[in-house]
């Protein structure tokens, strides 16, 4: 049932997802869906849990910055596997064991930095929000959304900017600027962790 819900969400997007549509997808009466999930909300919570469960957490190496970054990249891959479901991660707080596993993995990665527990959780929350926000921006409009060519119009407008008024933007687009999502995410994560490292006491072990 949940596999069918995720498949439907991938195909039609969040706005078009309904119990009736799921029943049609599965070839059953929509009322039969309620015997598995009491509401649309319960199904969406199940989708969130499944995405967290699909996050393949990396083994730790002891290098806290590399390990924390690796968890962020693993979480991002799990999110991008189901683009239409990514907004759910921003709207529905973690309530399941699988969801908390990702946060715990980040905290374990940060442990060698010897941060106070509250500070470590703040950093884990920051990295989680950074990852979800970046994934939403990368995935773009979900299936079924109004796709009216805005992205193309944005690119064309940017490329036509007058150089006298927008010299920096015009220069970048004149050189064929295209967003490299992987590099942008890596830079953001690395910069965040570098800032954390700079806040630590001066010792070689904490700054590895």
pLDDT tens digits, residue range 42-65?
888 888 988 999 999 999 999 999
**Model pLDDT, residue 149:** 53
Domain encompassing residue 59: 2-147+183-198
Q: Grade residue 204 by pLDDT with cuts at 50, 70 and 90.
A: very low
Residue 73 is predicted with a pLDDT of 97
Is residue 142 domain-shared with residue 61, that is, in the same domain?
yes
In a domain, 38, yes or no: yes
Sign for the pseudo-dihedral over CA of 92, 74, 1, 21? positive
State how many domains the chain has: 2
pLDDT of residue 35: 82
Residue 118 pLDDT grade (very low, low, confident, very high; cuts 50, 70, 90): very high
Q: Kindly give the interhelix angle for 64-80 and 181-198, rounded to the nearest 10 degrees.
A: 150
Q: 31 lies in a domain?
A: yes
Alpha-helical segments (H) within the chain: 2-12, 19-26, 30-33, 40-53, 64-80, 86-91, 97-110, 117-139, 150-159, 167-174, 181-198
Q: Is residue 104 pLDDT above 90, yes or no?
A: yes
Confidence label for 151 from pLDDT (cuts 50, 70 and 90): low
Predicted pLDDT at 112: 93
Angle at 205 between CA 122 and CA 121, to 5 degrees: 10
Report, as an integer, the average pLDDT of 31-36.
83
**134 and 160 belong to one structural domain:** no
- Tell me: pLDDT of 31 over 50: yes
Q: Are residues 100 and 155 in the same domain?
A: no
Q: How high is the mean pLDDT of the chain? A: 87
């Amino acid at each position: 049932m949940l596999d069918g819900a995720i498949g439907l969400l991938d195909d039609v997007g969040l706005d078009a997802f309904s119990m009736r549509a799921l029943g049609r997808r599965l070839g059953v009466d929509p009322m039969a869906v309620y015997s598995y999930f009491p509401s649309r909300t319960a199904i969406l919570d199940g989708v969130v849990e499944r995405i967290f469960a699909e996050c393949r957490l990396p083994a730790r190496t002891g290098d806290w910055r590399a390990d924390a970054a690796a968890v962020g990249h693993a979480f991002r891959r799990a999110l991008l596997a189901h683009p239409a479901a990514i907004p759910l991660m921003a709207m529905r707080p973690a309530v399941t064991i699988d969801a908390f596993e990702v946060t715990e993995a980040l905290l374990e990665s940060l442990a060698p930095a010897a941060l106070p527990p509250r500070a470590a959780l703040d950093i884990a929350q920051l990295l989680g929000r950074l990852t979800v926000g970046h994934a939403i921006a990368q995935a773009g409009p979900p299936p079924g959304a109004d796709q009216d060519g805005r992205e193309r119009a944005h690119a064309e407008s940017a490329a036509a900017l007058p150089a006298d008024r927008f010299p920096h933007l015009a220069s970048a687009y004149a050189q064929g600027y295209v967003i490299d999502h992987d590099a942008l995410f890596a830079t953001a994560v690395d910069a965040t962790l570098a800032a954390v490292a700079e806040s630590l006491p001066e010792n070689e072990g904490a700054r590895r």
